[in-house]
Structure 1
């Protein structure tokens, strides 16, 4: 690990163009090849003692963007505080106008699109597609579930309303993927607090089951349910890995007991259920609903 003394303070903690730093007398070309630095792109560097997360990758990519281009899609959603990044270290998504040239490279995925200036804003000094354009772009993805997950996550940031997004998409109905976006928006709902919650909800809805309410409060049990059919007192929960913690498990048991005493049935599902056994999830919820709303 390099000592901080080896790193000029003006180059600490953020990516920079090596050629600019050299011209400015901040560092020599010889020193830039040393172990104090990590090279992210050609001519783009970061001090080796700086944590390299996706935000840093976005800052590095922004240094390469020509005028009129922007961080886009999943990377833009991440910068808008929506949890939609896949596991691992994904490439930075950028959008460039059709008249601009920027070649893809490792860790940089480039899409040439219609990108008016009104669809770009500055976030922490980076050009980023607006939350509205970001949601529309992600809703157009061929994977319907991923599109709805992204839209739900962006709605949950509180900086986007579904009616506004629907109007925006309708005005661009003839853009590539416009029909797919409209389908995704018909399935999106405000209130989902995690991508897995959205995936669980979509298993039910796409199986033809009634739309559950999201984040339904049960004040008398001091509880809130991920998904609920309140008229039937049926709750549906996604249990992530944090529920394996001993103290969390004890809180879950006490909460579940309070709900049961109030007449609630709660079905709990895991990532394995959602990704590997969605049909079983739908079958179990259908069985719980059938005596009340689905008939024989």
Structure 2
């Protein structure tokens, strides 16, 4: 029968370094037992603080799945933060995910250092060296990361113009809290901040930053909404308003619509999977759309298939409604 390893000293906690363990009198053999994980060289983790997994569940609510995957990234970032040298910081997709931007939070941790420091080399780490003029570093929930505008600029080396617009829209968005109240100071950064990042100096992807910047707008709540807006502009549809409060004649708030063509009383609602899988959301949508129609609006409902399909039809659908409502190109 296999012996259970002796308990580790409680003073070590769930995460500790090799040096801390040896100073507490723990032998090398004990540190190699199966109940101790080694996520990075020199860092040890007990089962209580082991990774929560990748958070993927094809049948789960998409928002819950994304939250779980981002929580797992935070776990990994905080673990590595125990080893990170003082001048290093999280950058690239890792920093973007930590800030809540719409990027895939999986993959290796991306760590950067300002030149002339040497980029770290560790298993599971993607490292780079960055000019000090091109990045501002701040602390976000206890870890060091490039600030939102700098992060956007660093992503330009590997992202397309469309991806940079999606990220930029997310950065400048003013979030709404309970009751639909907007928080003007809640944006991660402003368009002026992104302009300053673009003007900071030459870098890989600078042409894509310059192309993306004038396409970024305040008010887009999701990458899918950004994609529709870009598609609509490309197809010559009139300028739309984003994140619009719809009220009745007494000023009562009926709902907040993603995209509105005010002059023609046409509203575009872009529906992700949560509109289909959440019974509460589904019922709320039905009530809201009925209220919009009662006020003389026509509601166009679109899904990802209409916007990102092999042959996107979203702009054509909206165009036909606008023409019927009096728009003349």
Q: Does TM, normalized by the shorter one, top 0.5?
A: yes
The residue number in structure 2 matching 1:85 is 103
Q: Does 1:225 align with 2:225?
A: no
Matches within 5 A, 1:100-139: 100-102=117-119, 107-116=124-133, 119-139=136-156
Unaligned stretches of 5+ residues in structure 1: none
Q: Partners in 1 of 2:171 and 2:27 — Cα distance? A: 43
Question: Aligned to 2:13, which of 11, 14, 18?
Answer: 11
Picking from 196, 210, 218, the partner of 2:238 is: 210
Partner of 2:295: 262
Please show how residues 46-195 of structure 1 align to structure 2 within 5 Å. 46-50=45-49, 51-52=51-52, 53-80=72-99, 82-86=100-104, 89-102=106-119, 107-116=124-133, 119-139=136-156, 141-156=158-173, 157-172=186-201, 174-195=202-223
Q: Which residue of 2 aligns with 1:235?
A: 267
The equivalent of 1:199 in structure 2 is 227
8 Å Cα contact 1:38-1:45 kept in structure 2: yes
Q: Which shifted more, 99-108 or 40-49?
A: 99-108
Structure 2's unaligned 5+ residue stretches are 53-71, 174-185
- Give the superposition deviation at 1:259: 0.7
The alignment of Structure 1 onto Structure 2 pairs a total of residues equal to 286
The verdict on how the C-alpha distance between 1:112 and 1:206 changes in structure 2, with shifts beyond 3 A counting, is: farther
Aligned residue in 1 for 2:31 = 32
Could you give the per-residue CA deviations for residues 167-217 of structure 1, whole angstroms, max 9, x where no partner exists?
Answer: 331242x32221211211111112222233223322223434334221111
Deviation, structure 1 residue 106 = 5.3
CA distance in 1, matches of 2:215, 2:167: 12
Bigger CA drift: 48-57 or 98-107? Answer: 98-107
Q: Which SS does the other structure have where 1:279 is aligned?
A: coil
Alpha carbons 2:269, 2:300 under 8 Å: kept:
yes
State the distance in 2 between where 1:113 and 1:236 align. Answer: 42
Could you tell me which residue of structure 1 aligns to residue 181 of structure 2?
A: none
Once the two structures are superposed, residues 146-187 of structure 1 have per-residue CA deviations (whole angstroms, 9 ceiling, x without a partner) of: 111111222235231112321331242x32221211211111
Q: Does the Cα contact within 8 Å between 1:6 and 1:36 map onto a contact in 2?
A: no
Q: CA deviation at 1:113?
A: 2.2
Aligned residues: CA RMSD: 2.8
Residues 181, 118 of structure 1: CA spacing in aligned structure 2 closer, same or farther, 3 A cutoff? closer
TM-score between the two structures when normalised by the length of structure 2: 0.76
Matched residue SS, 2:313? helix
Q: TM-score, normalised by structure 1?
A: 0.83
Asked if the contact 1:77/1:154 (under 8 Å) is kept, the reply is: no
Q: Give the whole-Å Cα distance in 2 for the aligned partners of 1:210 and 1:241.
A: 28
Cα distance between partner residues in 1 of 2:199 and 2:191: 12
CA shift for structure 1 position 78: 2.4
Shift of 1:278: 5.8
CA distance in structure 1 between the aligned counterparts of 2:305 and 2:33, rounded to whole angstroms: 45
Greater CA deviation, 236-245 or 197-206? 197-206
CA gap 1:177/1:217 in 2 versus in 1, 3 angstroms: same
Deviation at 1:54, TM superposition (A): 0.4
How many Å separate the matches in 1 of 2:151 and 2:219?
18
